[in-house]
Chains A and B, each alone.
Chain A
Amino acid sequence: GIQVEQSPPDLILQEGANSTLRCNFSDSVNNLQWFHQNPWGQLINLFYIPSGTKQNGRLSATTVATERYSLLYISSSQTTDSGVYFCAVIRDTDKLIFGTGTRLQVFP
């Protein structure tokens, strides 16, 4: 089946820093989503981005489908950005396949 790898697995930042999270996938996909899981366990949709670039406030994402990767950019990080960031893909079926996540900790 399709493999989804995220890097780095852990990231520690000081408030105000910028960061880039990467998601690599092993085959072509129909759908790619980025999620943020906050420290209370809630999963929050960030982007639906099978290709191209999208921005939402301090967050933006770019997917290069032909090269099988997606990037999530966080600018001017805040402590509330802490948590785990997942990318998830769908290929031929209806099933979202999740990566193992990037754990982000932002300190004041």
Chain B
Amino acid sequence: DADVTQTPRNRITKTGKRIMLECSQTKGHDRMYWYRQDPGLGLRLIYYSFDVKDINKGEISDGYSVSRQAQAKFSLSLESAIPNQTALYFCATRDDGTDTQYFGPGTRLTVL
């Protein structure tokens, strides 16, 4: 969905490096999410935010941190990347009126 953008789209990094993935949305939604997808599997929730002051851990938050800089921006950081964090990362927003979640195009991260 073009209203949810992610940067970078692809990133290769080395073990131990700090990485930030950024997400921006123009939908005006308060709720934002970060998921990861491993090959052959569905998405798992890392962190979610109901607004700029409300951030919550998802099911696999260890090794990750987030920052909600504004309603439109939600960043995911890997403080010290490790190879098993190689995955496809998705940002999403949620329309409170319809309960529908909208996903960005994804960031493919490879940790060597």
Asked if A96 contacts B45 (CB within 8 A), the reply is yes
CB of B29, distance to nearest CB on chain A (Å): 12
Establish whether residues A94 and B48, one from each chain, have CB atoms under 8 Å apart when the complex forms.
yes
Counting chain A residues whose Cβ lies within 8 A of the other chain, the interface size class is 20 to 34
Number of A-B residue pairs at CB separation under 8 A = 56
> Is B48 touching A95 in the complex (CB atoms < 8 A)?
yes
Contact residues in B for A96 (Cβ distance below 8 Å):
33, 35, 43, 45, 92, 101
Q: Please determine whether A48 and B98 come into contact, CB atoms closer than 8 angstroms.
A: yes
Total chain B interface residues with beta-carbon distance under 8 A = 28
Does A75 interact with chain B (Cβ within 8 Å)?
no
Contact yes or no, A42 B105, CB < 8 A: yes
Q: Decide yes or no whether B73 CB sits under 8 A from chain A.
A: no
| A48 B99 Cβ-Cβ under 8 A | yes
- Report yes or no: A45 in contact with B1, Cβ–Cβ below 8 A: yes
Which chain B residues border A31 with CB–CB below 8 Å? 99
Q: Which B residues are within 8 Å of any A CB, using their own CB?
A: 1, 31, 33, 35, 40-45, 48, 50, 56, 58-59, 88, 90, 92, 94, 98-103, 105-106, 108
8 interchain pairs, CB-CB under 8 A: A31-B99, A41-B88, A41-B106, A88-B43, A96-B101, A99-B42, A100-B41, A101-B42
